[in-house]
Structure 1
């Protein structure tokens, strides 16, 4: 489990705990949340635990020894890739947030694992390389984001070779609209990090909550959907659906529209990915349509929320443009959470960084990582100039 202590990681462990006869945890990894990882190790007894820093790994190892547990503790980026490709591992949950998840997720793909992809940035940054590695290794790639998981369920069992061959005319990517649905640009200027992190329907980490509030998360999901389902940006429509009951849809040439519905609980797509093609109990309450009562839909407001437009344009530009977009956004969101940047300035920073940097082909991982670093440096310089 790459990213065990985040919201996806804890939800995954909840599903696994319901099926001890089917699953055993081999490795749990975390960034710096050593106390949370210690609690998880005490419950799930992994063979290996991984943290970023050596001092945190030393602390965790001592705590585990004191508890009488024999979990091995490692640290650093190389250790993440090593556990992701370990021979003992059948399934890898890729739930590290941001660009940091790219290399270990790629390691899991290249090792031919079943990869449950909750890290959208891996595809955003290096879509062609990533999908090429999937095809070459024979890895099973199952999307865990609720929207992509829904589309996966609504498409034919064999959907490679383009949507048209399967009679699919459009993918409808639903969005809750976030906490500021209906707000205009002026109203958004005074938004605080606390308000942006208070999502009306989903329980998520702070970074992805801000991305949801700016609609950048939906833009990144649009890019991810293009790679996952061999679609063009113009084949994907974002539909604001505030109830978050329909998780996404696929429209067919005969007029049919297939939708996947359920309560907004990430344990549903996690359980689907773990057991596919079977279905197992996820601990999620059945959907009560009478309690929902109504389903509303509206177009996304790209004037108030320009990040969605910026993501679509990056996908259309191709090459390293999505990696540049993603890196600049990560810097901008971090600055917003630290109260060094206004909410509306997130999109402004991303757009100005994108305009400053030259887009190059993304046919080599080194070029992708170089574009990522160039974008971060330019974003930090932009922040310094504004200060």
Structure 2
């Protein structure tokens, strides 16, 4: 059956690669809704090519401009527009799939509303599961919604577990490229530039996730996601440095057998798998992985002293409650400051640590609790940075 695609974050890195998958499979997928940000020229290009039924952008003035250009398309803006993009009701009988490719906690409420609507999810928005995993997974079970991971690591775990008994899992093993500064000591991180931090050796990603890769916070967020997606205790989720980004993750079972998923560093592979599941379809314009050309693959343990943000993530996940919200919110705020050259690279982990240390945990937070803590932490860091 053809699928309606509700794309949240259409002008970002994951969004554009999702559109490329749709472009080559128009007989399978229809772009039903598009939620974009402030890149209006790119939004116009997407509208002209894919002709969605509904479009939302960040600012009201941009929505008005687009409405004048496309009077036949329903337009909205802001958070309400993002929610509408996730819950729009098309007049057809196609299967509905919401692709959450927005960055940050802004994806939380639209995801919740899409689940309540009964729409399946392909999720690339880490922050939603990190801050509200207990809420998201409960709602998904209640409304019989399938959550497909788009992250290469979680897609790999999903594929390794396909057809397996999840009660026979010993460990999940998540691989990490090491990011832009994997060969630098902590002393050599003093004074690194934004441009240097954004030069990832293997992947082409958005700016926020690239910085998170450099601090290893990205891997920490993935550990918390894996805990919720696969219901595995934190002590059975391992992380290893794998420079080649060929093995995207592994699962060790109780009999010591290890299943691994390999592939080229191409985000369209997990995106397309999430869109086509349970089928596999040909990926157009893709390079095959010729294993005989690899020579060798390398794996190393990750050092918490070298990458303290990874330890903060494990600790926050094990503490639970609003601690993971603080982890995510403080990191979002700190990365934004770094990208705007208001703090140094190493200040990111200092800010995160300080917020975690001073937080009084709410053990079983509601959605309102999570949103309040998220907003409070971000505002506090923003205010302190401008003093």
Shorter chain as normaliser: what TM range? over 0.9
1:342 to 339, 344, 352: 344
Paired position in structure 2 for 1:54: 60
2:115–2:140 CA contact under 8 A, matched in 1? yes
For 1:212 and 1:317, locate their aligned partners in 2 and report how far apart those are by CA, in whole Å.
23
The secondary structure found in structure 2 opposite 1:329 is helix
Q: What's the offset of the Cα at 1:154? A: 0.5
Corresponding position: 1:29 with 2:31: no
1:362–1:368 CA contact under 8 A, matched in 2? no
The secondary structure found in structure 1 opposite 2:214 is helix
The 5 Å alignment of 1:308-327 reads 308-327=310-329
The secondary structure found in structure 2 opposite 1:37 is helix
The 5 Å alignment of 1:256-295 reads 256-283=257-284, 284-295=286-297
Report the aligned-residue RMSD. 1.4
Per-residue deviation, residues 195-248 of structure 1 (Å, max 9, x unmatched):
111111111111111001100000000100000000111111101100000000
Corresponding position: 1:39 with 2:45: yes
1:146 to 147, 152, 158: 152
For 1:186 and 1:351, locate their aligned partners in 2 and report how far apart those are by CA, in whole Å.
19
For 2:164 and 2:375, locate their aligned partners in 1 and report how far apart those are by CA, in whole Å.
37
Paired position in structure 2 for 1:329: 331
For 1:104 and 1:33, locate their aligned partners in 2 and report how far apart those are by CA, in whole Å.
20
Corresponding position: 1:134 with 2:136: no
The secondary structure found in structure 2 opposite 1:19 is coil
For 1:101 and 1:219, locate their aligned partners in 2 and report how far apart those are by CA, in whole Å.
19
The secondary structure found in structure 1 opposite 2:245 is coil
The 5 Å alignment of 1:181-196 reads 181-196=182-197
For 2:88 and 2:74, locate their aligned partners in 1 and report how far apart those are by CA, in whole Å.
14
For 1:205 and 1:83, locate their aligned partners in 2 and report how far apart those are by CA, in whole Å.
22
1:148–1:248 CA contact under 8 A, matched in 2? yes
Q: What's the offset of the Cα at 1:384? A: 4.2
2:87–2:113 CA contact under 8 A, matched in 1? yes
Q: What's the offset of the Cα at 1:25? A: 0.9
Q: What's the offset of the Cα at 1:158? A: 6.6
For 1:322 and 1:339, locate their aligned partners in 2 and report how far apart those are by CA, in whole Å.
25
The secondary structure found in structure 1 opposite 2:221 is helix
Q: TM-score, normalised by structure 1?
A: 0.94
For 1:348 and 1:183, locate their aligned partners in 2 and report how far apart those are by CA, in whole Å.
18
1:112–1:140 CA contact under 8 A, matched in 2? no
For 1:235 and 1:7, locate their aligned partners in 2 and report how far apart those are by CA, in whole Å.
31
The secondary structure found in structure 2 opposite 1:25 is strand
The 5 Å alignment of 1:1-387 reads 1-64=7-70, 70-88=72-90, 90-157=96-163, 163=166, 165=167, 167-283=168-284, 284-384=286-386
Structure 1 window deviating more from structure 2 (283-292 vs 266-275): it is 283-292
2:100–2:107 CA contact under 8 A, matched in 1? yes
For 1:7 and 1:293, locate their aligned partners in 2 and report how far apart those are by CA, in whole Å.
30
Q: How many residues are paired up?
A: 376
Q: What's the offset of the Cα at 1:85? A: 1.7
Q: What's the offset of the Cα at 1:361? A: 2.2
Per-residue deviation, residues 78-99 of structure 1 (Å, max 9, x unmatched):
1221221223260110000011
The secondary structure found in structure 2 opposite 1:251 is strand
Q: TM-score, normalised by structure 2?
A: 0.94
Extract unaligned runs of 5+ from structure 1: none
Q: What's the offset of the Cα at 1:121? A: 0.3
Paired position in structure 1 for 2:4: none
For 1:240 and 1:108, locate their aligned partners in 2 and report how far apart those are by CA, in whole Å.
35
| 1:294 to 1:48, Cα distance in 2 relative to 1, 3 A | same
